């Protein structure tokens, strides 16, 4: 687990006064969940609503959560996959409230539109922990803690690499954005744009590929059809970058040479493409959030003070560093 930075402490002790211990009522998404989960007095029942299975990063993140929130570690986990749909996440959270889970955790697919369901959790006395992605709300008492990377910084680091290597060369750049309205898509775009501001690198097109390999390929095909001489691709994640590689190769060009590619995540497939010379630079987004989530959930249930924002630290890799890191890469 990477070291983390505790940015600030919550002013208030986590509100866990009335952990509701309802009997299991078998929500549609997780029929075995509820209350103390039947795991004994000290077991923490936790409902986790995952965004989906859109990327290699997401698969690694799910594995980290499922491998950590185990019965041996004191948890009874109810896990649901929202298939990248906010309505599915809201439905899952409502199920977890009805089941009287001790804690609810989720990675919000988009930033806005959560206040109503978070107020319902709060009214039921169930603490909520955000992982990976933030929500946009005026009322930060609606969640106990947010654990995840600094996405603006990730975008900025990718942009700094582009600016340092290509400013002065009048390069044309296209951007493959993540899911529209999601925190990483908004923040990475912002950080990257700030880093290349004032350079002669020209952003000629920017569209969403929804963080998927198929989306990245399809959007890149469109970019190659409508723009001559694309020099650089900035993909908001590895999977879209890998899809772009397929489109670039199909167009008879050499990724990493004719078209430079910078991505974010540093999952194994991305790192392999980087080591193979098809991607030029990757900024890491660490998906191993399970341990932090377990620690914060235990503290919240114990009524201890928790950090409102936990920033997970990320690395960055060039081609040689990727080749060196690959043999020991966990995800
Ligand atoms: O929220 C993290 C992002 O979501 C990852 O960068 C991406 O791969 C995933 O789908």
Question: What is the mean pLDDT of each successive set of 10 residues along the chain, which is 331 residues long?
Answer: 36 29 31 41 93 98 98 98 98 98 98 98 98 98 98 98 97 98 98 98 98 98 97 98 98 98 98 98 98 98 97 97 96 94
Tokens encoding 208: 């969403």
- Best of 49, 51, 157 to mutate for ligand 1, by most ligand atoms within 8 A of CB? 51
Any idea which residue has 């201890």 for tokens?
304
- Best of 179, 237, 266 to mutate for ligand 1, by most ligand atoms within 8 A of CB? 237
Distance 318 CA to ligand 1 centre (A): 20
Atom of ligand 1 nearest to the CA of 264: 6
The model's pTM is 0.89
- Best of 178, 244, 283, 284 to mutate for ligand 1, by most ligand atoms within 8 A of CB? 178
pLDDT of residue 42: 87
pLDDT of residue 20: 26
pLDDT of residue 23: 27
| Helices and strands in the chain: count of H runs, count of E runs | 10, 13
- Ligand 1, CB within 6 Å, residue ranges: 54-55, 57-58, 132-133, 184, 211, 237, 239, 264-265, 285
pLDDT of residue 41: 60
pLDDT of residue 295: 98
Distance 328 CA to ligand 1 centre (A): 22
The residues, ordered by sequence, that sit 6+ positions from 130 with a Cβ below 8 Å of its Cβ are: 105, 106, 107, 108, 143, 145, 146, 147, 148
User: Domains in the chain, start-ordered, CATH in brackets?
Assistant: 44-148+286-313 (3.40.50.2300), 151-285 (3.40.50.2300)
C-alpha 37/C-alpha 35 separation (Å) is 5
Distance 274 CA to ligand 1 centre (A): 18
Considering Cα of 217, then 222, then 224, then 225, what sign does the dihedral take?
positive
Distance 286 CA to ligand 1 centre (A): 10
* Best CA proximity match to 99, nearest among 19, 181, 214: 19
């Amino acid at each position: 687990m990477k070291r983390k930075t505790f940015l600030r402490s919550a002013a208030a002790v986590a509100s866990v006064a009335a952990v509701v211990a309802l009997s299991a009522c078998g929500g549609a998404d997780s029929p075995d969940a509820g209350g103390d989960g039947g795991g004994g007095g000290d077991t923490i029942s936790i409902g986790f609503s995952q965004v989906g299975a859109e990327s290699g990063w997401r698969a690694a993140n799910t594995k980290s959560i499922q491998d950590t929130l185990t019965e041996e570690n004191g948890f009874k986990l109810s896990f649901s996959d929202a298939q990248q749909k906010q309505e599915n996440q809201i439905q899952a959270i409502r199920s977890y409230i009805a089941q009287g889970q001790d804690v609810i955790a989720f990675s919000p697919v988009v930033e806005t539109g959560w206040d109503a369901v978070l107020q319902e959790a709060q009214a039921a006395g169930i603490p909520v922990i955000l992982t990976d992605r933030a929500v946009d709300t005026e009322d930060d008492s609606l969640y106990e803690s947010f654990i995840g990377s600094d996405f603006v910084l990730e975008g900025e680091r990718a942009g700094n690499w582009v600016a340092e290597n290509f400013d002065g060369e009048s390069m044309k750049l296209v951007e493959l954005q993540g899911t529209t309205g999601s925190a990483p898509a908004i923040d990475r775009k912002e950080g990257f744009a700030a880093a290349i501001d004032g350079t002669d690198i020209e952003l000629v097109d920017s569209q969403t590929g929804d963080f998927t390999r198929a989306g990245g390929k399809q959007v890149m095909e469109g970019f190659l059809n409508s723009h001559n001489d694309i020099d650089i691709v900035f993909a908001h994640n590895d999977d879209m970058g890998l899809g772009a590689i397929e489109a670039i190769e199909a167009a008879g060009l050499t990724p990493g040479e004719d078209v430079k590619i910078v991505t974010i995540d540093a999952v194994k497939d991305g790192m392999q493409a980087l080591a193979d010379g098809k991607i030029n630079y990757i900024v890491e987004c660490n998906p191993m959030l399970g341990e932090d989530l377990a620690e914060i959930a235990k503290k919240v249930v114990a009524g201890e003070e928790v950090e409102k924002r936990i920033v997970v630290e990320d690395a960055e890799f060039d081609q040689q560093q990727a080749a060196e890191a690959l043999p020991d890469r966990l995800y």
